[in-house]
Amino acid sequence: PKEKKRLDYRPPEYWIKKVDLDFDVHKDTTTVRSVLTCYRNRGSPSGADLVLHGEDLTLKEVKLNGKVLSEGAEGYGHDEDKQLVIRGKLLPADPDELFKVETTVAICPEKNFQLSGLYKSGGMYCTQCEAEGFRRITYFLDRPDVMSLYTVRVEASKSEYPVLLSNGNQISSGDAADGRHYASFEDPHPKPCYLFALVVGNLKSIHSDFTTTSGRKVRLEIFSEPHNVAKLDWAMESLKKAMKWDEEKFGREYDLDVFNIVAVDDFNMGAMENKGLNVFNTALILASPDTSTDADYERIMGVIAHEYFHNWTGNRVTCRDWFQLTLKEGLTVFRDQEFSRDMASAAVKRIEDIIMLRSRQFPEDAGPMAHPIRPESYIAMDNFYTATVYEKGAEVIRMYQTLLSKHGFRKGMDLYFTRHDGQAVTCDDFRAAMADANTSDLKQFERWYLQAGTPVVTVESASYDPSLKQFTIVVSQSTPATPGQAEKHPLHIPIKTGLLSKATGKELQPSMVLELKGEKETFVFDNVPEEPIASILRDFSAPCRLKFERSPDDLAFLMAHDTDDFNRWEAGQTLATIVIKDTYNKLSAGESPPALPGVFVEAWRKVLTATDIDRSLQTYSLRLPDEKTLIGEIAAPIAPDHLHNARQHVRKGLVEACKKELREVYDKLTQEVAAEGGVFKVDEPSIARRRLRNALLISMAVLQDPETVKLAVEHFETGLCMSDRISALYALADIPVAEREAVIQKFYGDSKDDKLKMCKWFAVQAQSDLPDTVERVKELMKHPDFELKNPNKLRAVVGAFANNNFHFHRKDGAGYSLVCDVIKEVDKLNPQMASRFAVFLAGWKNVEPVRSAMMKAQLERLRDTENLSNDTMEIVIKGLS
Ligand code: B3K
Ligand code: ZN
């Protein structure tokens, strides 16, 4: 497979000004006729060939300016990559002269299991073109810097497919021969082809409207298969909130008369921001109390907003090439995070985002696939839709805001839009807009785009001089080597810092942002009246690991008093990490686990019984860091069983020590719910209460005693919504009792007709702690409701299992061979899905030697597999090198 490099970027030889597409949809064959109006790029030589990308297309005809071309030296040809070559000598010498290339191809959406290009999901046709799927629809310059105006005509059976949709405004529609009908569309905004979309189906919809600040009335319509139409209201509400927020916070208005969203069952990722026609995975749009958890509701609102926000950050201003992906993704994730912070609790959202960053992005940065947020090379672009590009990318955007202030950041955004509207640009252009709008120097900041790996910020010393009333901290930074990048340079790191009074816990000074630029720097705080406790990296102001030696007492103090919500939570996480690590070290040395430190238990109890804090924050403060996060805090190679057992030991210890209080708080919450008459509500306090009550149940279940089993069954039976019921299921999932199986059966009975509920049913079992989880997962894959071709179900079973750190790493290697077998099978159908699972095996170097060898052997099995896709091969090669 060929590797593409960022620094090899060249502008295209030709531009495509206009695209006219015609889709004739018939069972097993869709004919696509395309007319491309092209002209030569002035920078490229006269006589250059026009080379059009194409993949899995059956070419029927090629015309140039209306004349049929034959295959051969005098007409068209194919290069070694099967791309279509129109000989340069046939093309006009004058770069201003437009010419038309017309191709007719046949494609078969029914057999497109990759879910890239035009494919069939259930009863409907839909498209997914990002990153390089448009070439699977027609011959084209499939690269984001080629922006064109589109018209689309589509024709299909009227009775089978009453709904026809594409980007932009519908300009005509009507009946055609043989019971067919057609519609045509015009999108007035030039766009790269990855934003093209087409939907043909039997759909129902809900609609509403939104009037923009400048008075444009936009028709909003959300489509799904008829049986799902009752679950679209939350998405509509979310969309309107997002539209309003983008006007208020960023001055961005919507720019078309229609905004359509379609929900599809078979989708490789969450959703797609096609211009004026977003396509969503049903899992990220359908919402009802019976099928969706509170977390699902939040996620849906966030993703609806994310795709909507792309209209400006991605669509109006797009990426020059795919190496710049974080230009639109990091920025849009940042925007959706800010939106969600404004819609609910800012602190809770920040904590959730950092839990996610640490459990998914930090491991990526520490593994074989480590890459900068702007990668330097790729084989399969789809492998780079990563937590690094998205989530770390969002943190990098957030640092601009931290360094430049909210106001300065907004000025930078305004300049970015003014300068680049309608263009395909780079991360450097974004950085330049931020720097120019604020006349600030962001040269060193570029390193965040150049270097992979999670930087370590170390507080070398923190000391107070009472005579000078000065507090001094010395801070250093370093970034561990990553594959292909041994040497790292210092980054420009904003470190938000506050000083608290040891006596009262009150702020001695407002927070300030220290800018660490060198390898080691000294920061002096003047006029500090007493010896303070420092609160460092507040609000997680940079995506780093903070090393700062503090006593358990100081951490407990911060847990109780820090005025920064994030750092108050963080202090608890740090303390828990110390305790779990200590336990892990003992277990690894073959010793028995130590007793839990009293300060730790008491601090936990204090959080548990507090009545004056937000219950969501309380829930997150009671939760221990997860295994994926802990891995990063422990020296490799990891013994996954000791890690799991250490964490479980600590969980159990806390629950045993606070058993009485746990039950009291739980009962109090249960009474509150009952007092309200058992009505389901989605307001913040209700969500927070559910969150806490469900988490407490899961905590208590760690004891596996009959009393808690009984409680969990009751919790399930009386549950008001999916959040309650699924939590009861999680509480029971690790306990080998008959009640567990009964509740699983009951849940199945209630869920078998609903694909999304079934996914939850699968996932809870795949994540179980029971000793035969591997065998059970194999059974689940034979279950009649399992579908290998449906990414949601595949993720629910295999993805959930691969994330089940303990059983994936089962001592006998059964977890590895299971995942490897699935990869081999899935790779033939859907390489994008297969390669995501390969990443789990690629992490072998961080694991203890016996397991490591078995993982490596599975990777070698993949390497030796015939016809392995480029997607999976890329992960395997990087994993083995
Ligand atoms: N831009 C899409 C992701 C496309 C993934 C292609 N493999 C969704 C999003 O980030 O908004
Ligand atoms: Zn996105």
Map out the domains of the chain as residue ranges: 4-202, 318-450, 456-542, 752-881
- Alpha-carbon distance values, 201 to 27, 30, 209 (Å): 13, 14, 23
Are residues 731 and 715 in contact, defined by beta-carbon separation less than 8 angstroms? Answer: yes
Are residues 157 and 332 in contact, defined by beta-carbon separation less than 8 angstroms? Answer: no
User: Which atom of ligand 1 is closest in space to residue 271's alpha carbon?
Assistant: 8
User: Which atom of ligand 1 is closest in space to residue 303's alpha carbon?
Assistant: 11
State both tokens at 593. Answer: 């686990």
User: Which atom of ligand 1 is closest in space to residue 131's alpha carbon?
Assistant: 6
Distance, in Å, from the CA atom of 399 to the CA atom of 540, rounded to the nearest integer, reads 10
Q: What is the pLDDT of residue 678?
A: 84
Residue nearest atom 5 of ligand 1, based on CA coordinates: 130
3-state secondary structure of 20: strand
Distance, in Å, from the CA atom of 463 to the CA atom of 556, rounded to the nearest integer, reads 20
Beta bridge partners of 119: 126
Are residues 18 and 148 in contact, defined by beta-carbon separation less than 8 angstroms? Answer: yes
Which residues line the pocket of ligand 1, CB cutoff 6 A? 130-131, 269, 271-273, 306-307, 310, 329, 382, 385
Q: What is the pLDDT of residue 192?
A: 98
Using the mean position of ligand 1's atoms as its centre, give its distance from the Cα of residue 274 in Å.
10
Q: Helix 814-829 to helix 831-842 angle, to the nearest 10 degrees?
A: 160
What are the catalytic residues?
Answer: 307
Residue 66 φ/ψ region, left for φ over 0, alpha for ψ in the -120 to 50 degree band, beta for the rest? left
- Among all ligands shown, which has an atom nearest to the Cα of 331? 2
Which letter, b or e, does each residue of 519-543 get, where b requires 16 or more Cβ atoms within 10 Å of its Cβ? eebebebeebeebbbbbbbbbbbbb
Using the mean position of ligand 1's atoms as its centre, give its distance from the Cα of residue 272 in Å.
5
Those residues of the chain that have pLDDT short of 50 are: none
CATH classification for the domain delimited by 4-202, as one of 3.30.110.40, 3.40.50.620, 2.60.40.1730, 2.120.10.30: 2.60.40.1730
Longest Cα–Cα distance in the chain: 94
Residue nearest atom 2 of ligand 1, based on CA coordinates: 272
Using the mean position of ligand 1's atoms as its centre, give its distance from the Cα of residue 270 in Å.
8
Residues with CB under 5 A from ligand 2 (ion): 329, 332
Are residues 52 and 139 in contact, defined by beta-carbon separation less than 8 angstroms? Answer: yes
Residue nearest atom 4 of ligand 1, based on CA coordinates: 130
Best probe residue, ligand 1, of 114, 261, 264, 273 (max atoms within 8 Å of C-beta): 273
Give me the amino acid identity at 768.
S
Are residues 691 and 619 in contact, defined by beta-carbon separation less than 8 angstroms? Answer: yes
- Among all ligands shown, which has an atom nearest to the Cα of 130? 1
Beta bridge partners of 474: 461, 522
Distance, in Å, from the CA atom of 595 to the CA atom of 552, rounded to the nearest integer, reads 15
Residue nearest atom 10 of ligand 1, based on CA coordinates: 329
Using the mean position of ligand 2's atoms as its centre, give its distance from the Cα of residue 383 in Å.
15
- Look at the alpha carbons of 548, 553, 559, 560 in this order and tell me if their dihedral is positive or negative: negative
Helix spans in 529-625 (H): 552-561, 565-588, 598-609, 615-622
Distance, in Å, from the CA atom of 167 to the CA atom of 198, rounded to the nearest integer, reads 7
- Among all ligands shown, which has an atom nearest to the Cα of 330? 2
Any idea which architecture 752-881 has in CATH? Alpha Horseshoe (1.25)
Helix (H) or strand (E) segment spanning residue 762 = helix 755-766
Using the mean position of ligand 1's atoms as its centre, give its distance from the Cα of residue 372 in Å.
18
Distance, in Å, from the CA atom of 339 to the CA atom of 342, rounded to the nearest integer, reads 5
Using the mean position of ligand 1's atoms as its centre, give its distance from the Cα of residue 838 in Å.
20
- Does this chain's domain 4-202 share its CATH topology with 456-542? yes
**List of residues 6+ apart from 565 with CB closer than 8 A:** 346, 347, 350, 351, 617
Q: What is the pLDDT of residue 126?
A: 98
Residue nearest atom 9 of ligand 1, based on CA coordinates: 272
Q: What is the pLDDT of residue 171?
A: 98
CATH code reported for the domain at 456-542:
2.60.40.1840
Nearest to 424 by CA among 670, 174, 141: 141
Superfamily of domain 318-450: Neutral Protease Domain 2 (1.10.390.10)
Q: How many CB atoms are closer than 10 A to CB 825? A: 12
Best probe residue, ligand 1, of 115, 129, 135, 269 (max atoms within 8 Å of C-beta): 269
Q: What is the pLDDT of residue 1?
A: 83
